[in-house]
Amino acid sequence: MPNKSSWVQIPEGSDFTIHNLPFGIFSIKNGKPRVGIAIGNQILDLAAVARLGHFDALKIDKKVFSQNTLNDFISLGKSKTSRLRKKVQQLLSSKKSPLIGKRAVLIAQSKATMHMPVAVGDYTDFYSSIEHATNLGKMFRDPKNALLPNWRHLPVGYHGRASSIVVSGTPIHRPKGQVMPVGADKPIFKASGRLDFELETAFIIGKENKLGNSIPVNEAEDYIFGKVLFNDWSARDIQKWEYVPLGPFLGKSFASSISPWIVTMDALEPFRTKGPVQKPKVLPYLKYKGDKNFNINLQVSIQPQGKKETVVSNSNFKFMYWNMSQQLAHHTVNGCNTKVGDMMASGTISGRDNNSFGSMLEISHSGKNPVTLDSGEKRAFIEDNDTVIMRGYCEKDGMRVGFGEVRGKVLPAR
């Protein structure tokens, strides 16, 4: 991609460069939610740009830019959404742009409220980091056989709760449920004492497949519109007691937080990279061609109330053993249909050392080795009034494409 600049002032180190142009839903005081694109510290109001006629040649109904989710816009298909993104790139980079001086089309992000970018019909969470799966297997099973027999043969996943996915900035109440105290012979009901984050990303479905039809692995990216950061909050004590035999339930379904801007696959294209070598060889329906992983730097911080944040993890999406194309191919190989707006989360993204683990369960080794924050406080898990902040970005050859952040403050149990 050639280097481009914009007539819009973009701060040094901004995630939202002319190379990015992610889509989101925003509103301003007394205004209705609508579609926007992030550029620097501002938002380009696509509804306003459409009213000026700049998208007429694309033959897109102006109504899609005034919706309170991106579902209708995404449903237009990549041929149109990609062309619109390129048009916006031209409008924001040309020194003769007709938008120059049109103050109404640019809104300061500081004056906007961000909303859920899509209506999520269904949500699936995968378990696709071999480092994460190995770490948990060593902790809770035989260290010599940390991975279950199926793990290297298929992308393990489960269906989560779509209704409790919330946008960045939404507070999270500490969940309550059954836990089994160490040494006890029966469970008790209490607020979770082991609240954790999970560092993840999620991709959004951009094209539907019909019930009974599977999506081939090498066509899977045609069905993926873009990605967000994803914090899959987890109550480890509730999860540990409930997950046998059917897996996560109340320990996960109370909340998941996402970043508000969807970074498109077009923007991520320059950051492709090879994934880990998969052994043994996968079955034919999971064999793919080309580079399907992406070099996305990821970071997690914990901020106690009134204190500065402390970085507790630096990881990278490129570590993922199972890639998005394999996840979607496996998800639909039985004929499962997907719909626009469906969300597929990666599972916890952990690297190879303690500084790159994607959960406090791993970082503190199940609470045995608490982390010392810059404030001097210690954390084995997340405490009330802590804020967890996740950030992610790609950088290469002078191009930066970032996700912004997803943050959530933990409030006491109700």
**pLDDT one-digit tens code per residue, 336-350:** 999 999 999 999 999
Count of CB atoms situated within 10 Å of the CB of 90: 12
CB 179 within 8 A of CB 193: yes
Burial of 325 (0-12, 13-18, 19+ CB in 10 A): buried
pLDDT band at 142 (very low <50, low <70, confident <90, very high): confident
Q: Kindly calculate the radius of gyration of the chain based on its CA atoms and give it in whole angstroms.
A: 21
Q: What are phi and psi of 356, to 5 degrees?
A: -115, 15
CATH number for the region 23-114 comes to 2.30.30.230
Q: What is the pLDDT of residues 12-31, one digit of tens each?
A: 999 999 999 999 999 999 89
Q: Which residue has the tokens 């839903």?
A: 25
Q: Which residue has the tokens 């409220």?
A: 113
pLDDT > 70: percent of the chain:
99
339 near 332, Cβ under 8 Å?
no
> Is-cis flag, bond preceding 175, omega within 30?
no
Q: Tokens in use for 318?
A: 């490129």
pLDDT at 289 exceeding the cut of 70: yes
pLDDT score, position 140 = 82
Contact 249, 178 (CB under 8 A): no
Question: Which of the four pLDDT bands, split at 50, 70 and 90, describes residue 141?
Answer: confident
CA distances from 176 to 239, 242, 259, 304, 383 (A): 11, 13, 25, 21, 14
Residues in contact with 364: Cβ distance below 8 Å, sequence separation at least 6, in sequence order: 370, 371, 379, 380, 381
- pLDDT of 356 strictly over 90: yes
pLDDT tens by residue, 220-233: 999 999 999 999 99
Report the pLDDT value the prediction gives residue 21, as an integer from 0 to 100. Answer: 98
pLDDT digits (tens, 9 = 90+) for 291-308: 999 999 999 999 999 999
Active-site annotation holder among 19, 54, 132, 330: 132
Give the mean pLDDT of the chain.
96
Q: Specify the CATH architecture of the domain 123-411.
A: Alpha-Beta Complex (3.90)
* pLDDT value for 4: 74
Q: What is the pLDDT of residues 181-212, one digit of tens each?
A: 999 999 999 999 999 999 999 999 999 999 99
The alpha carbon of residue 261 and the mean position of all alpha carbons in its chain are separated, in whole angstroms, by: 10
Please state the φ and ψ torsions of residue 154, each to the nearest 5 degrees: -155, 155
**What's the confidence (pLDDT) of residue 1?**
39
Alpha-helical regions (H) of 12-129: 46-51, 71-74, 78-93
Taking the CB of residue 33, how many other CB atoms lie within 10 A of it?
18
pLDDT in tens, 62-77: 999 999 999 999 999 9
3-state SS string for 18-37: CCCCCEEEEECCCCCCEEEE
Instruction: Domain ranges for the chain, please list them.
Output: 23-114, 123-411
Which regions of 240-339 does DSSP assign to beta strands (E)? 256-258, 263-264, 272-273, 293-294, 297-303, 310-316
pLDDT at position 2 is 42
pLDDT tops 70 at residue 3:
no
- What are 109-112's contacts with CB under 8 Å, separation 24+? 109/38, 109/41, 109/42, 109/43, 110/41, 111/28, 111/29, 112/26, 112/27, 112/28, 112/36, 112/43
Note if the bond before 143 is cis, omega within 30 degrees. Answer: no
Instruction: Dig out the tokens for 7 from the structure.
Output: 């007539």
Tens-digit pLDDT profile for residues 315-340: 999 999 999 999 999 999 999 999 99
Answer yes or no: 330 catalytic.
no
